Structure 1
Amino acid sequence: MTSPRLRDIQAVLFDLDGTLFDRETAVREVVAGQHAAFSGELDGVTRERFVGRMLELDAHGYGDKSEIYPRLVRELGLPEPLAARLHAHFWDAYAQVAPAMPGARATLAALRARGRRLGVVTNGRVRVQEGKLRALDLLGALDVVLISEREQLRKPDPAIFRRALERLGVRAEQACYVGDHPMKDAQGARDAGLHAVWLRTPHFPPPEAAHTAIDDLGELLALV
């Protein structure tokens, strides 16, 4: 069922990973590629075991890669120096893949055509996050991009959302924020006074705060 229409929305802000960028697909593709690239050094570890355990440790992006790879090679009984090489390979390969979430490009284009101002507020490193937006060919579609490393603020701190509003020149009640994480996205945006739109995901429980929920980015077009 479609959620009630949001009123007077002039700007739509988005999370990046899991909202515009299909991070789950990207990581699975990269890790599967690692198994193939390093197969001669994996001592017979199956693709299923290597990929499955790596995805568990990754925890949908909330695992630290610098800690994950040493743990992975220890658990699999592999040579310790392999961890650093896998870690470096991950980031090199990750920069080359750019799967968009379903409907991402079409939704942004439609919102832009309706005169909405658009932006991204994301945690992460500038090089990595801007690289994703560039690979997705979305940088030109956005009025503002706030990345935690550059801003020295991280979601769910309301200050990073308020900074985005200032740069867009809109009030909190005139903006909504779309993201998949119940705390960093939905709660953070709500605390900053924006309309919080939660993109449902099986990876996280629903936000405790009141929110609008959608299953697909295209549903935004019926809301704003």
Structure 2
Amino acid sequence: MMTEYDAVLLDLDGTLCEYTRGTEQLLPAAFERVGVEPMFAPEAYVERVDSYADRADSMLERRRLCFADLAAEHGYDRQIGREVADAYAAERDHSNVRFLDGAAEAVEQLAERYPLAMVTNGGPDMQDPKLETLGLERYLDSLVYAGYEGPAKPDPEPFERALDALGVSADRAVYVGNNYETDVLGAASADLSSILVGEPPASGPVEPISTVSTPGEIPRALEGPSSDRR
């Protein structure tokens, strides 16, 4: 018999939503917006941008530092790199995110039954536009920007902060995410059970209580024989 939980914690990216355009589409559009030829490949940006995390307070500033260095390395002025970073941010606007299939309905159903908290890696500058576009704020009782004001997932701290905000103990809550390493193992580090959206690895130290193929299946995965299904 599955436990009847008192609260649900949710991941955002890849669990509830996805970008309509990825870096492969956004970077060429940013170069075109600035009026310069592509000076580096998307892979170069993806490989290096996280190395600037300790030097920047936001994803935008991290990207501006990265693009400036890449521009200089390819014989361009560093300011051009910063302009491309700003153009990239403009292209990656509110319209560039959408719900995964069934996610909007799932969140609405969950909010009718549970207090909801979100624990997402990324700062407000990166995550708030998505939440605004998707209209998710009205469903959330707590929001933790992991990696912004504290350690990122899979560290237990962001999960513990969400639980404290809800006033719920770990054994009475469940976390839903799509990444085994950051979500399933991270939740376990805070003594939380988890539901994985996707397939778990063939072997791993922790098993989620359930796996689902799409976010639309999350409410059903939380229904045990004793659940209130009114």
* Normalised-by-shorter TM-score class: 0.7 to 0.9
Q: Structure 1's 63 and 215: CA in aligned 2 closer, same or farther, altered over 3 A?
A: farther
From 159, 168, 177, the counterpart of 2:166: 168
Structure 1 length-normalised TM:
0.76
Aligned partner of 1:54 in structure 2 is: 42
Displaced runs of 4+ in structure 1, greater than 6 A? none
Whole-Å separation in 2 of the counterparts to 1:213 and 1:207: 14
SS at match of 1:145: strand
Aligned length: 208
Structure 2 counterpart of 1:12, which letter? Answer: V
Secondary structure of 1:22's aligned partner: strand
* Partner of residue 189, structure 1: 187
Query: Does the C-alpha gap of structure 1 residues 205 and 127 become closer, same or farther in structure 2, counting only changes over 3 Å?
Result: farther
Please state how far the C-alpha of 1:78 moved relative to its aligned partner.
5.9
Q: Equivalent residue for 1:14? A: 10
Note the 1:139-158 alignment, pairs <5 A.
139-148=137-146, 151-158=149-156
Unaligned runs of 5+ in 1: none
Partner SS, residue 162 of structure 1: helix
Q: Show the counterpart of 1:136.
A: 134
Tell me: CA distance 1:180–1:162, structure 2 relative to 1, closer, same or farther (3 Å).
Answer: same
Q: Which residue does the alignment assign to 1:100?
A: 99
SS of aligned partner of 2:143 = strand
* Aligned-CA RMSD value: 3.2
The alpha-carbon deviation at position 71 of structure 1 amounts to 6.2
TM-score (norm 2): 0.74
How many Å separate the matches in 1 of 2:103 and 2:156? 25
How many angstroms does 1:164 deviate by?
Answer: 0.8
- How many Å separate the matches in 2 of 1:205 and 1:56? 31
Aligned CA distance change for structure 1 residues 69 and 150 (closer, same or farther; 3 Å): closer
Contact 1:25–1:99, Cα closer than 8 Å, also in 2: no
- Residue 209 of structure 1: aligned partner: 206
Deviations 1:139-187 (A, max 9, x none): 0111111113664232222122112112112221221112222222111
Say if 1:9 and 1:93 are closer, same or farther in 2 by CA, change over 3 A: same
1:62–1:112 CA distance, 2 compared to 1 (3 A): same
Distance in 2 (alpha carbons) for counterparts of 1:208 and 1:88: 42
Task: Give the deviation of 1:12 after TM superposition.
Answer: 1.6
Between the aligned residues of both structures, percent identity stands at 25
Residues 1:72 and 1:18: Cα distance change in structure 2 (over 3 Å):
farther
Amino acid at match of 1:41: V
Q: CA deviation at 1:86?
A: 1.3
CA–CA distance in 2 between the matches of 1:198 and 1:66?
34
